[in-house]
C-alpha cells in the first residue's frame, strides 16, 4: 500500500468529523464526538537529522526570587542591613537600651547595626523562617564590641513566640569577628523567627547574619526541594545570569567570601536585596552537579576598553589555568581547576538598552574576536530578535557581524494564553524564514537558538500544551536550530503573576507550572535523531483530507486546522524510537502511525505516557499534583493508533532490536 492509499484509508476508517473551531469544548462533551485524525508515516530507512540535546536547556535568571530567596538556600533576608533592608526585614525592640542603624564601612557594605544595652536589652528580630523538625541549621554573624561588657544571645522562636533554641554568642576582643552558631530544630514551623539580643551594659556592632540548613550547605547551598525539581528536568545547558539582569551584573562582586560580596538591589525585578551570594562559582558548581553545560551571559553595553576588558576577565576567571592572574584569583576562592566554559553570550536583549541592530552588530564585532581569543574552543552567542515579527534585527546582525559569532539567540514569548496552539505556528514560520536567511547569507554555518520562550500570563495546562508543541517544533527544525531554553524557570508565588514559570515556590515548598510536567517528560524521553513529523489533517468537508508533513500557517481559505502535532525521533542505534504528540483541542483525536523500513523493530516493548487536563487546570501549593503523568504498557505493531483525549500530551517509547 503506498502512502496516499494509507492516508486515505486510515482517514476513511475513522469516519472523522471536521475539527471544531471552538477550543473550549469540555472534556466530558468531547467524549461524545467522533475523533479527528492525524497520520504519521515513519520511514526508518530515510536519512535522519541530528537533534541537539541542547534543545532541552534551562534559563536561570535573577528574577522573581528565582535565585535569591529561592534556589539559593540563604534563609536570612537583608543579611547585611544595606539599602532599605533593615526597615524591610528587621524589627527592632529595646528596654533600657536602643537599636541604631549606623553608617559604617564594613567589608563591601556601608551599614551596620549597633545594639546598646543600658541595664536592659536591645534586640532585632526577623520572621518568616522555615524550620524542619530534626534538621540542623548552621549560620554565622559578624560582631565587634564597642564598649562595656554586654552579652549577646541568639534565640530561635516559634510562630507563637515559644523558644526553640537559645545560643550564647561569645564576643571577645574589640575587632570584627565572624562567629558561628548552630542548632537542631525540635519542631516544624513555617513562620519561626530569629532574634539577636544584647543585654547588660555596653554596645555591640552587628553585621552580616547568615543561616541555612546543614543539608542545604552540604548540597552546594541549594534548597533541596528546588534543586531536586531542577535536577528532574535534566537540563542540557543552563543560561545565566540573565535576562535584563545580565547587563548590569558585576561578576567580580559575586566571588570570594560571602560577607565581602557586593550588595545590589535587583532594580530590574522588584528592587529586592541581593548580596550576590549566588555568584560565578556557585553557578558553575550547580552546572557540574546537574551535569549541564554552562552558558554565561556577559555584560556588553559599550565598547569602552575597560568595559570590554571587564567582560573578558570573566572568561579568564572561569577558564584560565591557575598560573595566570585570573586563574590565581579563582584558585584563591577554592576552585583551582579551570571550569572550561564553552558558551558565552554577548549581553541580552540589547534593544532594551537603546541599541539598534547596527549598533549591536558593532558590539558583536568588538566582543566576538576577544571572546574567541580568550576561549578558542568556545561558541559565541549573539542576540537575535526579541519578537518574531522583527526580522530586520536578526538579518542585520547576521549580515553585519555574522563572522564574529556562532549562534544567534532569539527570544519569543506568546503573550495571549488562548494562543497556546497558534503561537507555536507563528514562531515556526519566523524560524523557517530565519533559517532560510542564514542558509542564503555569507555565514551559513550560524546556528539558531531560542533562548527565551514560553506562553505568558498563565501557568495552567495551556502552558503545558504550548510547551509540547514548541519542543516538538524545535526538534523538527534540527539541526539548524540547536539550542532552546524556556523562561522562566522558577519564581516566588508572591511576585508578579504575569510571568509564567515552570516551578512556583514559597519559602517552604513548591508546585509545578503547566509546562513543567511536559518539559520533564520530553527531556526524559529525548532521542538523538529526527525521523518524521506531522501537523494533523486539514479539511473543508468530512470526507476530504490533506496531510501536512510540517507545521504550517499556510492553511487554504475555508479549511479547518487539525488538532494534533506529532514528531517521531530515534536513538543513534535505532533500538529506541519515541513518538510525541499533542492534541490542542477539546475533541478527541486519533494519531495513526505507520512504521516502515528495514530498520523498523520486529519485536519491541512500548510504553505510553500521557498528560491530560482541562485547559485552565493548574496546580497550587495546596494541590501540587493537579496535573499528573500516567504511564501504561502499549501493544506494539508496525501500524497502530494512539488515542488522544482532548487537551492531551502523549509520548510513546518503543524499545527493541533493530532488524
- Whether the per-residue pLDDT at 542 is higher than 90: the answer is no
Contact 498, 457 (CB under 8 A): yes
Number of domains in the chain: 3
Other beta carbons within 10 Å of 539: 21
- Give 35's pLDDT tier (boundaries 50, 70, 90): low
230, 112: one domain: no
What was the pLDDT predicted at 558? 46
In a domain, 324, yes or no: no
- Whether the per-residue pLDDT at 219 is higher than 50: the answer is yes
Tens digits of per-residue pLDDT, 430-466? Answer: 999 999 999 999 999 999 999 999 999 999 999 999 9
Contact 408, 380 (CB under 8 A): no
Selection from 140, 73, 70 nearest residue 503 by Cα:
70
Task: Among 491, 524, 557, identify where a domain stops.
Answer: 524
- Whether the per-residue pLDDT at 622 is higher than 70: the answer is yes
What was the pLDDT predicted at 267? 77
Tens digits of per-residue pLDDT, 334-352? Answer: 999 999 999 999 999 999 9
In a domain, 392, yes or no: yes
What was the pLDDT predicted at 485? 98
- Cα gap 459→491, rounded to integer Å: 11
Backbone φ and ψ for 393, nearest 5 degrees, come out as: -60, -55
- Cα gap 138→132, rounded to integer Å: 13
- Cα gap 55→595, rounded to integer Å: 25
Q: What's the whole-number mean pLDDT along residues 600-614?
A: 95
Which cell numbers in the block locate residue 554? 499556510
- Whether the per-residue pLDDT at 556 is higher than 60: the answer is no
What was the pLDDT predicted at 540? 42
Helix or strand holding residue 86 (H, E) = helix 85-89
Q: What's the whole-number mean pLDDT along residues 421-432?
A: 94
- Whether the per-residue pLDDT at 306 is higher than 90: the answer is yes
Q: What's the whole-number mean pLDDT along residues 472-491?
A: 96
In a domain, 538, yes or no: yes
Which cell numbers in the block locate residue 48? 535522519
475, 352: one domain: yes
- Supply the CATH number for residue 591's domain: 2.60.40.1180
Distances (CA, A) of 49 to 42, 483, 504, 528: 14, 15, 36, 9
- Cα gap 653→633, rounded to integer Å: 10
Tens digits of per-residue pLDDT, 507-524? Answer: 999 999 999 999 999 999
Q: Is the dihedral of CA 543, 548, 552, 554 positive or negative?
A: negative
- Cα gap 415→488, rounded to integer Å: 13
In a domain, 197, yes or no: yes
Task: Determine the 3-state secondary structure of 42 from DSSP.
Answer: strand
Contact 426, 416 (CB under 8 A): no
- Whether the per-residue pLDDT at 248 is higher than 50: the answer is yes
- Whether the per-residue pLDDT at 316 is higher than 60: the answer is yes
- Cα gap 598→652, rounded to integer Å: 21
Q: What's the whole-number mean pLDDT along residues 572-599?
A: 93
- Cα gap 120→23, rounded to integer Å: 69
Q: What mean pLDDT, rounded, does the chain reach?
A: 90
- Give 552's pLDDT tier (boundaries 50, 70, 90): very low
Q: How far apart are the first and last CA of the chain?
A: 21
Who wins on pLDDT, 272 or 76?
Answer: 76
Distances (CA, A) of 339 to 56, 226, 299, 322, 372: 22, 24, 19, 11, 16
Instruction: State CA 452 to chain mean position distance.
Output: 9
Task: Determine the 3-state secondary structure of 229 from DSSP.
Answer: helix
Altogether, the residues listed in the chain come to a count of 659
What was the pLDDT predicted at 73? 97
Per-residue DSSP letters for 307-366? HHHHHHHHHHHHHS-TTSHHHHHHHHTT--S-----EEEE-S-GGGGT--HHHHHHHHHH
Tens digits of per-residue pLDDT, 106-127? Answer: 988 999 999 999 999 999 999 9
Q: Is the dihedral of CA 456, 459, 460, 464 positive or negative?
A: positive
Tens digits of per-residue pLDDT, 114-163? Answer: 999 999 999 999 999 999 999 999 999 999 999 999 999 999 999 999 99
What was the pLDDT predicted at 113? 98
- Supply the CATH number for residue 208's domain: 2.60.120.260
Which cell numbers in the block locate residue 213? 540548613
296, 150: one domain: no
Dihedral, CA atoms, 514, 520, 521, 526, nearest 10 degrees?
140
Selection from 5, 21, 39 nearest residue 589 by Cα:
39
Distances (CA, A) of 56 to 53, 163, 237, 360, 520: 6, 47, 8, 28, 9
283, 432: one domain: yes
Q: What's the whole-number mean pLDDT along residues 380-384?
A: 97
Q: What's the whole-number mean pLDDT along residues 190-201?
A: 98
Give me the domain span that covers residue 488.
54-73+220-240+268-307+334-524
574, 436: one domain: no
Q: How many CA atoms lie within 13 A of 228 on its CB side?
A: 8
Task: Among 471, 493, 524, identify where a domain stops.
Answer: 524
Other beta carbons within 10 Å of 656: 17
- Give 286's pLDDT tier (boundaries 50, 70, 90): very high
385, 448: one domain: yes
Distances (CA, A) of 449 to 239, 330, 536, 541: 12, 30, 26, 39
Who wins on pLDDT, 304 or 538?
Answer: 304
31, 66: one domain: no
Query: C-alpha angle with apex 477: 473 to 481, nearest 5 degrees?
Result: 110
Distances (CA, A) of 429 to 54, 287, 443: 21, 33, 21
Other beta carbons within 10 Å of 452: 23
- Cα gap 203→144, rounded to integer Å: 9
398, 416: one domain: yes
Q: What's the whole-number mean pLDDT along residues 370-394?
A: 94
Which cell numbers in the block locate residue 238? 543552563
494, 439: one domain: yes
Helix or strand holding residue 497 (H, E) = none
Amino acid at each position: 500500500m503506498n502512502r496516499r492509499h494509507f492516508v486515505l484509508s486510515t482517514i476513511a476508517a475513522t469516519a472523522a468529523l471536521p475539527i471544531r473551531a471552538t477550543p473550549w469544548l469540555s472534556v466530558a462533551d468531547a467524549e461524545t464526538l467522533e475523533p479527528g485524525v492525524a497520520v504519521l508515516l515513519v520511514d526508518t530507512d530515510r536519512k535522519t537529522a541530528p537533534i541537539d540535546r541542547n534543545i532541552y536547556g534551562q534559563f536561570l535568571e535573577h528574577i522573581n526570587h528565582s535565585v535569591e530567596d529561592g534556589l539559593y538556600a540563604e534563609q536570612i533576608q537583608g543579611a547585611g542591613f544595606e539599602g532599605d533592608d533593615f526597615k524591610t526585614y528587621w524589627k527592632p525592640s529595646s528596654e533600657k537600651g536602643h537599636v541604631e542603624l549606623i553608617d559604617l564601612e564594613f567589608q563591601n557594605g556601608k551599614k551596620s547595626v549597633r545594639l546598646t544595652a543600658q541595664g536592659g536589652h536591645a534586640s532585632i528580630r526577623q520572621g518568616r523562617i522555615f524550620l524542619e523538625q530534626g534538621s540542623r541549621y548552621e549560620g554565622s554573624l559578624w560582631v565587634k564590641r564597642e564598649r562595656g561588657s554586654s552579652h549577646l544571645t541568639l534565640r530561635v522562636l516559634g510562630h507563637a513566640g515559644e523558644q526553640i533554641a537559645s545560643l550564647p554568642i561569645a564576643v571577645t576582643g574589640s575587632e570584627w569577628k565572624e562567629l558561628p552558631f548552630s542548632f537542631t530544630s525540635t519542631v516544624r514551623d513555617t513562620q519561626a523567627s530569629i532574634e539577636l539580643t544584647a543585654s547588660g551594659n555596653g554596645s555591640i556592632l552587628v553585621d552580616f547574619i547568615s543561616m541555612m540548613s546543614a543539608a542545604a550547605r552540604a548540597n552546594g547551598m541549594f534548597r533541596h526541594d528546588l534543586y531536586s525539581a531542577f535536577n528532574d528536568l535534566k537540563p542540557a545547558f543552563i543560561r545565566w545570569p540573565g535576562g535584563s539582569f545580565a547587563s548590569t551584573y558585576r561578576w567580580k562582586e559575586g566571588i570570594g567570601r560571602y560577607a565581602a560580596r557586593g550588595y545590589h538591589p535587583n532594580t530590574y525585578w522588584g528592587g529586592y536585596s541581593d548580596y550576590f551570594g549566588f555568584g560565578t562559582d556557585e553557578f558553575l558548581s550547580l552546572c557540574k552537579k546537574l551535569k549541564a553545560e554552562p552558558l554565561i551571559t556577559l555584560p556588553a553595553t559599550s565598547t569602552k576598553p575597560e568595559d570590554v576588558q571587564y567582560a573578558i576577565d570573566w572568561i579568564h576567571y572561569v577558564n584560565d589555568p591557575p598560573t595566570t592572574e585570573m586563574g590565581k584569583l579563582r584558585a584563591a576562592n577554592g576552585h583551582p581547576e579551570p571550569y572550561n566554559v564553552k558558551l558565552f553570550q554577548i549581553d541580552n536583549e540589547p534593544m532594551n538598552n537603546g541599541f539598534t541592530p547596527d549598533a549591536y552588530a558593532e558590539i558583536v564585532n568588538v566582543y566576538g574576536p576577544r571572546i574567541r581569543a580568550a576561549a578558542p574552543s568556545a561558541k559565541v552567542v549573539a542576540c537575535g530578535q526579541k519578537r518574531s515579527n522583527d526580522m530586520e534585527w536578526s538579518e542585520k546582525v547576521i549580515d553585519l557581524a555574522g563572522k564574529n559569532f556562532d549562534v544567534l539567540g532569539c527570544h519569543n514569548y506568546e503573550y495571549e494564553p488562548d494562543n497556546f496552539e497558534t503561537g507555536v505556528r507563528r514562531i515556526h514560520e519566523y524560524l523557517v524564514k530565519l533559517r532560510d536567511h542564514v542558509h542564503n547569507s555569507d555565514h551559513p554555518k550560524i546556528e539558531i537558538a531560542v533562548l527565551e520562550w514560553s506562553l505568558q500570563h498563565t501557568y495552567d495546562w495551556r502552558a503545558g500544551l504550548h510547551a509540547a508543541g514548541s519542543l516538538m517544533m524545535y526538534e523538527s527544525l534540527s539541526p539548524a536550530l540547536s539550542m532552546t531554553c524556556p523562561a522562566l524557570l522558577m519564581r516566588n508565588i508572591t511576585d508578579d503573576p504575569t510571568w509564567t514559570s515552570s516551578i512556583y515556590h514559597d519559602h517552604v515548598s513548591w508546585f509545578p507550572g503547566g509546562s513543567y510536567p511536559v518539559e520533564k517528560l520530553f527531556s526524559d524521553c529525548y532521542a538523538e535523531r529526527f525521523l518524521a513529523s506531522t501537523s494533523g489533517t486539514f479539511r473543508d468537508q468530512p470526507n476530504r483530507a490533506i496531510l501536512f508533513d510540517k507545521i504550517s500557517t499556510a492553511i487554504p481559505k475555508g479549511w479547518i486546522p487539525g488538532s494534533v502535532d506529532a514528531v517521531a525521533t530515534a536513538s543513534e542505534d535505532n533500538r529506541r524510537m519515541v513518538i510525541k504528540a499533542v492534541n490542542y483541542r477539546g475533541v478527541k483525536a486519533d494519531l495513526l502511525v505507520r512504521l516502515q523500513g528495514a530498520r523498523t523493530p520486529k519485536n519491541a516493548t512500548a510504553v505510553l505516557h500521557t498528560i491530560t487536563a482541562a485547559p485552565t487546570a493548574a496546580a497550587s501549593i495546596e494541590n501540587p499534583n493537579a496535573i499528573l503523568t500516567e504511564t501504561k504498557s502499549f501493544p506494539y505493531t508496525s501500524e497502530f493508533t494512539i488515542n488522544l483525549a482532548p487537551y492531551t500530551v502523549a509520548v510513546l517509547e518503543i524499545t527493541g532490536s533493530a532488524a
